[in-house]
Chain A
Amino acid sequence: MTSSAGSLLSLNNLGKRFGSLQALEGVSLDVRAGSVQCLLGENGAGKSTLCNLIFGVYEPSEGDMVFDGAAWAPESPAVALEKGIAMVHQHFSLVPRMTVVENLMLGQVRGVLKRHEFGARIRDIAENFGFTLDPDAVVGELSVGERQRAEIVKCLMRDPKLLVLDEPTAVLPPGEIGALLDICRRVADSGRAVILVTHKLAEIAKVADRVAVLRTGRLVADESMAEADMGALVHAMVGRELRPLDVALAETDEDVEASEAPKGFALVCDGLTVHDRHGAVRLDNFTLEIRPGEIVGLAGVEGNGQSELGMVLAGLLRPTEGHFYIAGNDLTHAGAAAVTAAGGGIVPEDRHAVACVTAMSVAENMFLNKLDRFTRFGLLQRGALNAAAQKQMQEFDVRAAGPEVAFSGLSGGNQQKAVLARELTLDPLVALVAAQPTRGLDVSAVEAVYRQIRAAARRGVGVLLISSELDELLAVADRVAVLYRGRLVGERPAEMNERGAIGALMSGQVA
C-alpha cells in the first residue's frame, strides 16, 4: 500500500468483477484534499461502480484503497459515512411530504424534535457554503436544484472529508448548474475533497482541478484540468474498441442501400415540446423527419429527453406543444390505440412495465394488440392463437418452451424478440419507434434484434432508433441525430469517423 503525499484518497490497482463481467480493472487514482476531482465516462464505463467501491456499497475484487492515511475498506455505506465519506446519489433520498429540517433530522435525532435549533444549523451550513436553504420548506415543493442543495447539506452535516456527487448535473436545469459548481468549489476550498461524476465534460470544466476518464472499466486519462485538452478528453471518453457486434452487422450493411425513398414521410415530429410537472423542459422543440425505409438513430446520454420522446410517440404522453404525424396522420392527441392503428409500431424502453404483461403467456403477449383477430363470439380462440404464435416464434427466433408458457419465464433477449415480432407484424406498418431495444441483451440477441429492424426498413418502414449505445447506432442507422438536454443539437451521417464529433455533441459541446 502506498499513498502519495497530499492525497486524501488513493486507489491502487482497483478492480471489480461481477460474475464474468469485469466492471473495473486496474484503476489507480489519487484524490487530493482541497481539490475537485472530475470523473468522466460514458454510461457503463464504471463510474458508478467506482463510487460504490469508495462508499462501501461493494467490496473490490482486486487492489486496495487508502483514505486519510489508513487502509480503507468500509463494509457498508454507514461505515463510510461515519468515517468521513458522504455521497449525493443521483436519485434523491428525501421524503417529499416532509420539510427540509424534518428530512435532515430523520434518523439523526432522538426524542422530542427541536426544529428551531436544527433549522438554525442547516441555515449556518448553507450560508457557510454560499447558498440559502429554507429549513421549513416542504421538500416536494422545492425545485430540483433546491432539493439537491438539501441533500448536500445533509451530507455536509456529517462534516465529511470527501464528498462524492454522482451525476449531479444530470437532473439540473442549465440555470442551476452554475450554483452547484460554486458550492463544489467552496466545499473544496474548505479543505475537503470533492469527486464529481459526470458524462458532461463541458459543464464541469470550469470547476474541476483534475479530471480522470474511465472507459469500459479502465482509467484512460488522468490529468490536471489546466493542462488537459478538451478534444483529447472527449476522444479518450468515447474512443472505440471493435466489438463482435460490428462484424456481424457489417455483413448485412449492403442490403440497406437497396431501399429508396417513396414520397411522403413515415414519421414526422414537428416542434415537440414536453414540460414535466415541475415545469422543467424535458423535450425542447424537437423536429425530425423520417422517410420510409430510413433508419434514423437518436443518440444521447440517457435522461436528455429520450424517454419523454418515446412516451409521446407511443401516445402515452401528451406533449405541451408540437405535433407528430405517422403517414401524414396527426396522432399527437390520439392515444396509444390510434398510433397502433395508424401503423406506428412501438418498442418501449421499459420492457417489463410497458411493453408486455409478464404474467400472461408468450402467445397472448405476442398478439396483445391483435387479440380481436382470435376472438369469436367474444371468446378467445386459444388453439388458433397458439398456432399463430408458434409460427411467429419460429420466424422471429423466440426461444421458449411453448406459446403457453408465462412471458416472465423468457430471457430478456427472447422477450425483446417477442415484443419486436408483435410490433413488426402490425398491418399496416409505417413507422417503428424502438427505444433502447438492446438494453441488457447479449450480443447474439442484439444482432437478431437489429437484423429484424433492418429487414423492416428494407420493406419500407421508417425507423426511429433511440439508443445510448453509439456504436450500435453507427452500425445500424443511416444517419444519427443527437439529443442533448431535450434539444436536437446536431445530425451526422452514421459513419465510424464521425464518432468523435457525435461524442462531442452528446457531451454538450457545440459542434
Chain B
Amino acid sequence: MEEMLAVFIASTLRLAMPLMLAASGELVSERAGVLNLSLEGMMLTAAFFGALGSWASGNPYLGVACAILASVVVSAVQAWLSVNLRANQLVVGIGFNILALGATTLLYRIIFGGLSREEIPGLPKLAVKGLSDLPFAGTAFFQQSVIVYVGLALIVLIWAMLNHTSFGLAVRAVGDEPRSADKAGIPVAATRWKAVLITGFMAGFAGAFISIADIHTFTENMTNGAGYLALAAVIFGGWNVGRTIAACLLFGAATALQFQLPAMGIHVPTAFLLMLPYLLALLAVAGVVGRLEPPTSLTLPFQRGK
C-alpha cells in the first residue's frame, strides 16, 4: 500500500509538472495584464521542436534549448500582437492554437512520416544520491527527470520575483492599473513584453518536458489540452503562485488516478477518469470553489492618454 502511494505521488508530480511549468509562466503574464490563450500552442510547438532538436542532434539538452527557443518566438509574436498592436487577446490565442496544431502535425508527417513512433533521445532520470534510496520519499520524490528539479527551482524563482522584486511589483502594477504605473514611471509596454516572454520560456520548458523528458517521442496534438488545463489552474489558483501550483497538482493527481485505480483493482469507467481533470477545471473556473478577482486590466490593452 505504501509503495503504491509513493508511486501515486511520483506520477502525480510527473503529470503535474508540465502544468506547473506552464501555469507559473502564464501567471506572470496574466499578472501583467496579458492573457495567453496561446499557451497550448506554445507548448505544442515546443514539444515538437524539442523532439526534433533532440532527434536531429542526438542531444536531449539541445532539444530542450530548441523547445524553449521555438516557444519564445511564438510568445514574442503574441506579445507584439497583444501589446503593440493591441489585438484581441482571445482571438489571437485561439488562432495560435489552431495554427500550432496544424503546423506541428504537417511538419511531423513530412519529417517523420505518417505513423512513425520514432524514439528520441530523452533526458535521464536523476536519482538524487542518498535520497533516492529512502524508503518512501525516495520513490515519491527523488527519482525524477532532471527537468523536474530545474523546473521546481524556476517556479520558486518566479514566486520570489513576483513578490519580492521591483520587477514583480511593476508586473502587478501594469496588470492592475497601467495608468497609475505609467505615472509612477514604469514602462508599461516593456514590462508586459518581458512578462509574455517569461510565459514563452516556461511554456517551452513545459513542452520539452512532455516530449523529451516524459514520453520520449512526438505524437500529433500530444499536449492534448495541457495548456488549457494550465490556464484553468491559474484561475483556480486565484493568480497566486502557491495556489496555482496546488491546482496543478490536483489536476495531476486526477490524471494519475487513471493509472492508479485499475492497478489497485478499483474499477471505474476509464472515460470518467479521463474526464476528471477537465471536470475539476470546469468547476474551478466556474467559481464553485472560492472565486478570486483577476488582475483588473487582464486582456485590456494600454494606450497612454486613452
Contact = CB atoms under 8 A, between A and B. Distances in A.
Interface of A: 78, 93-98, 102, 105-113
Q: Which DSSP category, helix, strand, loop or mixed, fits chain B's interface?
A: helix
Interface stretch (B52-60, B95-103, B183-191, B268-276): B183-191
A94 B166 contact: no
Given A107-B181, A113-B165, 18 more contacts: A95-B172, A96-B296, A97-B172, A97-B293, A102-B169, A106-B169, A106-B170, A106-B181, A107-B185, A107-B186, A109-B166, A110-B166, A111-B166, A112-B164, A112-B166, A113-B164, A113-B166, A113-B169
B180 interface: yes
A220 B265 CA distance: 92
9 contacts: A93-B179, A93-B184, A95-B181, A97-B296, A106-B181, A107-B184, A109-B166, A113-B166, A113-B169
Interface string B121-150: 000000000000000000000000000000
A112 to B, nearest CB: 6
A106 B186 CA distance: 8
A98 B169 contact: yes
Contacts of B181: 95, 106-107
Contacts of A98: 169, 172-173, 176
A96 B169 contact: no
B177 interface: yes
Contacts of A96: 176-177, 296
Given A93-B179, A94-B180, A106 B173 contact: yes
B94 to A, nearest CB: 24
Nearest to A109: B166
Interface of B: 164-166, 168-170, 172-173, 176-177, 179-181, 183-186, 293, 295-296
A110 B177 CA distance: 20
A107 B183 CA distance: 9
A372 to B, nearest CB: 33
A261 to B, nearest CB: 48
A48 B151 CA distance: 53
Contacts of A95: 172-173, 176-177, 180-181
A111 B185 CA distance: 16
Nearest to B296: A97
A399 B177 CA distance: 40
A344 B82 CA distance: 44
A94 B176 CA distance: 10
A107 to B, nearest CB: 4
B184 A106 contact: yes
A234 to B, nearest CB: 35
A95 B170 CA distance: 11
A158 to B, nearest CB: 12
Interface centre among B168, B170, B184, B296 (most CB of A within 10 A): B184
B169 A105 contact: yes
Contacts of B164: 112-113
Top 5 closest pairs, chain A to chain B, by CB: A107-B184, A107-B185, A95-B177, A93-B180, A106-B184
A141 to B, nearest CB: 13
Contacts of B180: 93-95, 106
A274 to B, nearest CB: 24
A93 B170 CA distance: 14
Contacts of A93: 179-180, 183-184
Contacts of A94: 177, 180
A373 B28 CA distance: 52
Contacts of A107: 170, 181, 184-186
A97 B176 contact: yes
Contacts of A113: 164-166, 168-169
B205 to A, nearest CB: 24
A119 B137 CA distance: 42
B185 A112 contact: no
B190 to A, nearest CB: 13
A95 B175 CA distance: 10
Nearest to A92: B180
A439 B183 CA distance: 28
A98 B185 CA distance: 17
A78 B183 CA distance: 9
Nearest to B172: A98
Nearest to B174: A95
Contacts of A102: 169, 172
Nearest to B183: A93
A25 B164 CA distance: 50
B181 to A, nearest CB: 7
A49 B165 CA distance: 38
A107 B172 CA distance: 12
Contacts of B173: 95, 98, 106
A111 B161 CA distance: 9
Contacts of B177: 94-96
Contact of B165 (A106, A108, A112): A112
A107 B187 CA distance: 9
Contacts of B169: 98, 102, 105-106, 113
Interface centre among A93, A108, A110 (most CB of B within 10 A): A93
Contacts of B293: 97
A136 B167 CA distance: 19
Nearest to B160: A112
A83 to B, nearest CB: 16
Contacts of A106: 169-170, 173, 180-181, 184, 186
A277 B170 CA distance: 28
B179 to A, nearest CB: 7
Contacts of B183: 93
A105 B166 CA distance: 8
